[in-house]
Amino acid sequence: MALDSKVPKGPIKDKWTDYKNHINLVNPANKRHIDVIVVGTGLAGGSASATLAELGYNVKSFAYQDSPRRAHSIAAQGGINAAKNYQGDGDSTYRLFYDTVKGGDYRSREANVYRLAEVSANIIDQCVAQGVPFARDYGGLLDNRSFGGVLVSRTFYAKGQTGQQLLLGAYSAMNRQIARGKIEMFNRHEMLDVVVVDGKARGIIARNLVTGEIERHSAHSVVIASGGYGNVYFLSTNAMGSNVTAGWKVHKKGAYFANPCYTQIHPTCIPRSGDYQSKLTLMSESLRNDGRIWVPKNLDDVKAIREGSKKPTELTEDQRDYYLERRYPAFGNLVPRDVASRAAKERCDAGYGVNATGEAVYLDFAASFERYGKEQAKIQNISNPSEAKIKELGQEIVKAKYGNLFQMYEKIVDENPYETPMMIYPAVHYTMGGVWVDYNLMTTIPGCYAIGEANFSDHGANRLGASALMQGLADGYFVLPYTIGDYLSDDIRTGEISTESSEFEAAEKEVTERIEFFINNEGTHSVDYYHKKLGKIMWDKCGMSRNAEGLEIAIEEISALRKDFWQNVNVPGTSSEYNEQLAKAGRVADFLELGELFAKDALIREESAGGHFREEHQTEDGEAKRIKEFQFVSAWEYKGEPKDAVLHKEELAYENIEVKERSYK
Ligand SMILES: Cc1cc2nc3c(=O)[nH]c(=O)nc-3n(C[C@H](O)[C@H](O)[C@H](O)COP(=O)(O)OP(=O)(O)OC[C@H]3O[C@@H](n4cnc5c(N)ncnc54)[C@H](O)[C@@H]3O)c2cc1C
């Protein structure tokens, strides 16, 4: 099948406007006769549901949690980008576009990214109108901070709880429509298949997770907004329930899946503490605004710190290696996530990791305490403040900015990050890959759309911080509501879609048989047993560093594990009750298929991009020698060239992109 991105013709800056001026519309009276299913109520699905209902469509929204308010989006901490240029520091639509394309290692679809940058400013206005309490500066104006890979401050935030506040906004907008009867909300319902009738997506099969009932739901169009699949690695910063099932089911019914192997490995997570851990915790990237990342310069100090005979605070400045500041002076600690993660891994692999497992670097706020403290002392007219007073004043400022993150760290690690530097290490965080969509956000199944983290379109090989919330809300509030109308304008006379067709019957039968299998299979191993094993294969062989030999082994191991799963998995309980293990069995079954596709995708990409090193084994005199391939296609690491030359090359590369208008198909 030839993929057609359907990117409109014309200069990139005019595409979206021209497109909107010429697409088909559905008039308000006709919208009342059209049903849309939205699977997911995170920022993407919640905003889409609310907007489609406001426009007049009849929306059915599904979520597996007990409330839309609990979607994984609630976990987002650091902020949301928008090209408002409130700081007057040179930001613009073009710069946000440029940073996003460059940050993604030039692998995003540029037309989508330009549109994203264009509508970003509207998102902030929309959310402020909803009452989202973004942080404000002293004068009452919206405040901004900076995130990795950019040289401006364009990130809007609500303390360390931006996702929660944005989701409450989308949820309020949804609730208004639920009260009007324009959204029918199906909480605790899991979509287990999509139904395709005459080549078009016309409904879903869902399971009521409380009663176990299998239900048929029809619509003129189905929108997948089911989030990311980072949990294929078992350990990730994602919510425990995040999964690939909805995206995978549409893939199995014919929708293409793009870039499955591009995973974001976030540089600032709390390091793993042992084999029995079930979750990893993110420390927001916003902390890199004020925290400095370092490891000791000397291996003797590393040893002493690991043995507990030295504290990090005892090391003088010249005994520390602020390796990001050293390697990337222009961006310093705010390089993009993939660059920061790779650099942390490189230092730890070289033996400089500071915890017992050797997998941790420091994130240190001491310099910020001093800087803010001195400023506060001046503001408060305190003459000759003591060091302790300066530190106290500085800590108050840092607490106001990131207090909840510091508290979270202390609760988990049992160390006070105000007194000793935090320890951090890269962890799986976000999946850039997903269901392939065209410019309209439609998958290769007509009438089936994918939005938010579930699709692949905007972030290439690496997503810049604070851009997932922007993309989810752009898709839901400002893009899909237009593009879906163009498709639905053909459906104004179709009438209600029946759920009595053979397609619904076949899909329901398949879902029911799978559930019965899980309940009746008298296996020996728990679902988690398989999930953990899969996660280990994924991290060891498909994680940050990959090589052809390892990926080939991974493909075999995943295939064998899947076979074992279908013979020996054990699911307790029944199918007619709330059964978390049963729900998880279906999700892990899908991860076991996705994992293999993931490894195959990584295998055929002979490149290092985003958070992934491609290493190769080379045979030299009969001996296998592993060499690391550092020649990233990325603009960030042209081997051996001075920074200015790199930047110049970036400009040229960028110009080429605009002229050629490469679509990543
Ligand atoms: C700890 C953490 C912090 C983050 N911080 C930031 C940040 O500061 N800024 C930023 O831009 N990004 C951040 N991100 C990324 C961002 O939070 C996510 O990419 C984004 O929220 C995803 O939104 P979504 O609407 O696509 O999916 P989600 O919020 O994951 O929502 C998925 C929805 O789909 C539903 N669902 C899934 N499968 C099914 C199914 N089969 N049937 C029915 N319903 C289903 C779920 O119930 C849920 O409602 C962070 C991520 C993490 C893990």
SS3 (DSSP) at 612: strand
Give every CB contact of residue 481 below 8 A, 6+ residues apart in sequence.
Answer: 48, 51, 52, 55
pLDDT in tens, 156-171: 999 889 999 999 999 9
Burial annotation 456-470 (CB, 10 A radius, 16+ → b, else e): bbbbbbbbbbbbbbb
Can you read off the two tokens belonging to residue 358? 């050797």
The rounded percent of the chain whose pLDDT value lies above 70 is: 92
Specify the pLDDT at position 191: 98
Mean pLDDT of all residues in 584-592:
98
Short-list 498, 502, 520, 499, CA closest to 510: 502
> What number does the ligand 1 atom closest to the CA of 467 have?
11
Mean pLDDT of all residues in 210-223:
98
Can you read off the two tokens belonging to residue 233? 């690695």
Residue nearest to atom 12 of ligand 1 (CA): 468
End-to-end CA distance of the chain: 12
Mean pLDDT of all residues in 550-576:
97
Ligand 1 in reach of 248 Cβ (< 6 A)? no
Can you read off the two tokens belonging to residue 493? 């006379």
Mean pLDDT of all residues in 619-628:
38
Mean pLDDT of all residues in 266-281:
89
Q: In 10 A of CB 660, how many CB atoms?
A: 9
Residue 247 has pLDDT above 60, yes or no: yes
Short-list 243, 67, 79, 226, CA closest to 163: 79
Mean pLDDT of all residues in 298-303:
97
Residue 36 has pLDDT above 80, yes or no: yes
Ligand 1 in reach of 458 Cβ (< 6 A)? no
From 285, 464, 469, mutation site for ligand 1 pocket: most ligand atoms within 8 A of C-beta: 469
Mean pLDDT lowest among 259-273, 459-473, 507-521, 635-649: 635-649
Residue 512 has pLDDT above 80, yes or no: yes
> What distance in angstroms lies between residue 42's CA and the mean position of ligand 1's atoms?
6
> What distance in angstroms lies between residue 229's CA and the mean position of ligand 1's atoms?
10
pLDDT in tens, 388-414: 999 999 999 999 888 889 999 999 999
Specify the pLDDT at position 624: 34
Cβ proximity of 78 and 157 under 8 Å: yes
- 617 versus 123: the higher-pLDDT residue is 123
DSSP structure class, residue 517? H
Rg, the chain, Cα only: 25
**Residue length of the chain:** 665
> What number does the ligand 1 atom closest to the CA of 191 have?
42
The rounded percent of the chain whose pLDDT value lies above 90 is: 79
From 66, 72, 207, 281, mutation site for ligand 1 pocket: most ligand atoms within 8 A of C-beta: 72
Mean pLDDT of all residues in 187-210:
98
Ligand 1 in reach of 282 Cβ (< 6 A)? yes
Chain centroid, CA 70 distance in Å = 17
Ligand 1 in reach of 38 Cβ (< 6 A)? no
> What distance in angstroms lies between residue 73's CA and the mean position of ligand 1's atoms?
4
Strand-pair partners of 625: 618
Mean pLDDT lowest among 3-17, 66-80, 266-280: 266-280
Short-list 595, 654, 606, CA closest to 631: 606
Residue 626 has pLDDT above 50, yes or no: no
Specify the pLDDT at position 616: 66
Residue 130 has pLDDT above 80, yes or no: yes
> What number does the ligand 1 atom closest to the CA of 78 have?
8
From 37, 47, 73, mutation site for ligand 1 pocket: most ligand atoms within 8 A of C-beta: 73
C-alpha–C-alpha distance, residues 4 and 534, integer Å: 34
List of E strands, 386-522: 422-431, 434-435, 448-450
DSSP string, 434-449: EE---TTSB-SSTTEE
Specify the pLDDT at position 159: 85
Short-list 538, 504, 323, CA closest to 427: 538
Mean pLDDT of all residues in 274-299:
91
Residue nearest to atom 8 of ligand 1 (CA): 78
Can you read off the two tokens belonging to residue 256? 């293409």
* Rama region for 431: left / alpha / beta (φ>0; ψ in -120 to 50; rest): beta
Specify the pLDDT at position 10: 92
Ligand 1 in reach of 147 Cβ (< 6 A)? no
Residue 448 has pLDDT above 90, yes or no: yes
Ligand 1 in reach of 120 Cβ (< 6 A)? no
> What distance in angstroms lies between residue 231's CA and the mean position of ligand 1's atoms?
12
> What number does the ligand 1 atom closest to the CA of 453 have?
26
The active-site residue out of 145, 154, 292, 337 is: 337
Cα three-residue angle 133-139-140, rounded to 5 degrees: 20
| Cα–Cα distances in angstroms (integers) from residue 345 to residues 62, 289, 480, 544, 609, in the given order | 39, 21, 39, 9, 15
Mean pLDDT lowest among 312-316, 374-378, 459-463: 459-463
Specify the pLDDT at position 645: 32
Short-list 551, 634, 562, CA closest to 600: 551
Q: Rounded to 5 degrees, what are φ and ψ at 206?
A: -125, 155
> What distance in angstroms lies between residue 456's CA and the mean position of ligand 1's atoms?
14
Mean pLDDT lowest among 3-7, 236-240, 516-520, 603-607: 603-607
The answer to whether 70 is a known catalytic residue is no
What's the mean pLDDT when you consider all of the chain? 90
Ligand 1 in reach of 430 Cβ (< 6 A)? yes
Mean pLDDT of all residues in 522-550:
94
Specify the pLDDT at position 639: 33
Q: In 10 A of CB 257, how many CB atoms?
A: 23
Specify the pLDDT at position 651: 34
Burial class, 28, CB count within 10 angstroms (exposed 0-12 / middle 13-18 / buried 19+): exposed
C-alpha–C-alpha distance, residues 467 and 472, integer Å: 9
Mean pLDDT of all residues in 87-109:
91
Q: pLDDT-based confidence at 635, cuts 50/70/90?
A: very low
> What number does the ligand 1 atom closest to the CA of 429 have?
53
Residue 435 has pLDDT above 90, yes or no: yes
Specify the pLDDT at position 401: 86
Q: Rounded to 5 degrees, what are φ and ψ at 341?
A: -65, -45
Q: pLDDT-based confidence at 657, cuts 50/70/90?
A: very low
Cβ proximity of 251 and 410 under 8 Å: no
Q: What pTM was estimated for this model as a whole?
A: 0.91
SS3 (DSSP) at 98: helix
Can you read off the two tokens belonging to residue 599? 């490894």
Amino acid, res. 504: F
Mean pLDDT of all residues in 556-566:
97
C-alpha–C-alpha distance, residues 46 and 63, integer Å: 10
Burial annotation 340-371 (CB, 10 A radius, 16+ → b, else e): bbbbbbbbbeeebbbbeeebbbbbbbbebbee
Q: In 10 A of CB 593, how many CB atoms?
A: 16
> What distance in angstroms lies between residue 72's CA and the mean position of ligand 1's atoms?
4
Specify the pLDDT at position 148: 83
